[in-house]
Amino acid sequence: MKENFPVNWIANPFVLSSGTSPAVNEIIPAGISRLTRSFHRQIPGYRISPLKSLPNLAAMMGLGGIWVKDESVRLTLNSFKVLGGSFAMYRFVQSRLDMEHLEIPFSELTSDAIRQKLGDITFATATDGNHGRGVAWAAKAMGFRAVIYVHKFTSQARIKAIESSGAEVHVIDGTYDDAVRQVTVDAQQNGWHVISDTAWEGYEDVPRWVMQGYTTMLNEAQEQINAQGIIKPTHVFVQAGVGALAASTIGFYHQLFGQDDPVAVVVEPETAACLYRSVELGDGSPHTYPGDLDTIMAGLACGDPSPLAWDILRDCADAFLSCPDYVAAKGMRVYGVPLAGDPFIVSGESGAVTLGALMFIMERPELADLRDRLRLNAESQVLLINSEGNTDPNHFRRVVWDGADQVPAEYKETH
What whole-number distance in Å separates Cα of residue 80 and Cα of residue 45? Answer: 14
Query: Do the Cβ atoms of 151 and 128 come closer than 8 Å?
Result: yes
What whole-number distance in Å separates Cα of residue 55 and Cα of residue 343? Answer: 10
User: What's 82-202's CATH class?
Assistant: alpha beta
pLDDT tens-place string over residues 27-53: 999 999 999 999 999 999 999 999 999
Catalytic site residue from 70, 128, 311, 392: 128
Confidence of residue 202 (pLDDT cuts 50, 70, 90): very high
Q: For this structure, is 69 an active site residue? A: no
What integer is the mean pLDDT of 243-262?
A: 98
Rounded to 5°, the CA angle 408-410-414 comes to 110
Q: Average pLDDT of the chain? A: 95
Catalytic site residue from 52, 69, 70, 81: 81
What integer is the mean pLDDT of 61-66?
A: 98
Query: Do the Cβ atoms of 19 and 12 come closer than 8 Å?
Result: no
What whole-number distance in Å separates Cα of residue 144 and Cα of residue 89? Answer: 10
* Short-list 295, 383, 392, 394, CA closest to 347: 392
Query: Do the Cβ atoms of 303 and 274 come closer than 8 Å?
Result: yes
SS3 category, 171: strand
pLDDT of amino acid 263 = 98
Is the pLDDT score of 415 beyond 80? no
pLDDT tens-place string over residues 391-401: 999 999 999 99
Confidence of residue 129 (pLDDT cuts 50, 70, 90): confident
SS3 category, 389: coil
What whole-number distance in Å separates Cα of residue 39 and Cα of residue 304? Answer: 30
Beta-strand relationship, 65-70 and 51-53: antiparallel
SS3 category, 341: coil
pLDDT of amino acid 123 = 96
Q: Is 189 exposed, middle or buried (0-12, 13-18, 19+ CB in 10 A)?
A: exposed
What integer is the mean pLDDT of 252-275?
A: 98
Amino acid at 230: I
What integer is the mean pLDDT of 123-148?
A: 93
Is the pLDDT score of 124 beyond 90? yes
Query: Do the Cβ atoms of 334 and 360 come closer than 8 Å?
Result: no
Q: State the pTM of this model.
A: 0.96
Secondary structure element (H or E) that encloses residue 204, with its range: none
* Short-list 39, 10, 9, CA closest to 104: 39
Topology at the third CATH level for domain 8-80+206-411: Rossmann fold (3.40.50)
- Residues 331-367, buried b or exposed e (16+ Cβ, 10 A)? bbbbbbeeeeebeebbbbbbbbbbbbbbbbbbbbeeb
What whole-number distance in Å separates Cα of residue 15 and Cα of residue 13? Answer: 6
Query: Do the Cβ atoms of 414 and 360 come closer than 8 Å?
Result: no
The ranges of the chain annotated as CATH 3.40.50.1100 are 8-80+206-411, 82-202
Q: For this structure, is 140 an active site residue? A: no
* Short-list 374, 404, 29, 410, CA closest to 212: 29
Is the pLDDT score of 25 beyond 90? yes
Is the pLDDT score of 116 beyond 90? no
Ranges assigned E (strand) in 43-154: 51-53, 65-70, 122-127, 145-151
Confidence of residue 291 (pLDDT cuts 50, 70, 90): confident
Instruction: Provide the sign of the torsion angle of the four alpha carbons 313, 319, 325, 329, taken in this order.
Output: negative
pLDDT of amino acid 114 = 87
What integer is the mean pLDDT of 105-127?
A: 90
